[in-house]
Amino acid sequence: MKIAVDVMSGENEPEVLIKGALQAVDESDVEIILVGDEGRIYSELKKHKDKGNQVSVVHSSEVILMNETPAKACRKKPDASVMVASQLVAKKKADGFFSPGNTGATITASLLNIKRVQGVSRPAIAIMVPTAKGHTLLLDAGANVDSTPKNIVQFAIMGDVFMKHIVGVNEPKVALLNIGEEDKKGNELSLKAYELLKTVDFNFVGNIEGHDVYEGNVDVIVCDGFIGNIVLKLSEGLGDVMMRLIKNEIIRNFSSRFGAFMARGAFRNVKNRLSAETYGGAPLLGINGCAIVGHGNTGAIATKNGIHTAVKMVKANINQLIKENTKRFMEDAE
């Protein structure tokens, strides 16, 4: 099992991601291909115990930056780390890849080099959202805008497979993110998607509203990528602002830092609980290979966990299941 790791495209130094990748090697029999500036990679590797043939390096001379336009950047920089990593998967030299970079570039490179699973119209970013009770998979988190009802159904099929076979949930509860619980609520897309979702043979539990997302009563939430992207970024922003406000209040209330000191552990724990690091990144489901999209500020732990998630996906042969279920269910939905 080989996973390629783009160590160049994140906001953190490559050394941080290399450390995370080496931890994954220590914890399992995964083989890692570090993709990026080989000078920097080798000089970091020298500082660690030799991992034998579990670690190899593939050089790439370019990096796609966070603010670059994905399609243009992938065209202009064929030797960018994310392009090289995805090509390793396309050429079967790796079973999957992880990139912490420009999300759009990771999607574009995957579509360009690895292509889609047969029957899947559009791949989707699937994010594990931490909730009051555990985790819920939300997709699409931003790979697509202006999705069709059929796209939404395919997202649901892929999410169902992921929760069943990677997370181990029996009969995952699948819900549609909407602006009312009743079946006649919503916009044109959600009304049509609801009707289609009802016809598919999985555990569709109906609509949920915004205030239900973090309660954790369902396992899979599907929505268009425009909505999913706003949900995720809004949550990050609101979480940050709330933490700041509560800290300030605690400091102010006790005219000293004592209260903040006391609460610090609590904040850290909640922050960890709400962080995306547990799964290390978001799988791009529907790609005929395995691609994990890390957060821009992916650290060592997220890199390690992203690699473990990729390994699980490949071992479960998730794409075969997605292909079969898409074929079977989309016939129901025709």
Least separation, in Å, of the C-beta of 114 and its own copies? 24
Least separation, in Å, of the C-beta of 84 and its own copies? 25
187 lies in the binding site for its own copies (CB under 8 A): yes
Contacts of its own copies in 232-251 (CB under 8 A): 232-242, 244-246, 249-250
210 lies in the binding site for its own copies (CB under 8 A): yes
Sort residue 37 into left (φ over 0), alpha (ψ -120 to 50) or beta. beta
Is 92 or 184 the residue whose CB approaches its own copies more closely?
184
Alpha-helical segments (H) within 46-143: 70-76, 81-90, 103-109
The answer to whether the CB of 66 falls within 8 A of the CB of 102 is yes
Is 25 or 227 the residue whose CB approaches its own copies more closely?
227
The span from the CA of 141 to the CA of 133, in Å, is 21
Q: Which range, of 36-44, 85-93, 118-126, 213-221, touches its own copies by CB under 8 A?
A: 213-221
231 lies in the binding site for its own copies (CB under 8 A): yes
Sign, CA dihedral 317-174-106-30, equals negative
Q: CA separation (Å) from 165 to 107, 158, 171?
A: 23, 11, 11
Token duo for residue 57 = 């390096």
> Residue 93 contacts by C-beta under 8 Å, 6 or more apart in sequence?
2, 4, 33
Is 119 or 206 the residue whose CB approaches its own copies more closely?
206
Contacts of its own copies in 45-84 (CB under 8 A): 69
Least separation, in Å, of the C-beta of 154 and its own copies? 18
Give the residue, chosen from 39, 50, 168, 188, that forms a contact with its own copies under the rule CB under 8 A: 188
Least separation, in Å, of the C-beta of 205 and its own copies? 17
Least separation, in Å, of the C-beta of 17 and its own copies? 23
H-helix or E-strand containing 128?
A: strand 127-130
- Give the β-pairing of 55-59 and 127-130: unpaired
Q: What is the DSSP letter of 277?
A: G
Question: Which residues are at the interface with its own copies (CB under 8 A)?
Answer: 69, 131-132, 142, 145-146, 177, 179, 182, 184, 186-188, 190, 209-215, 224-227, 229-242, 244-246, 249-250, 252-254, 259, 262-263, 265-267, 269-270, 273-274
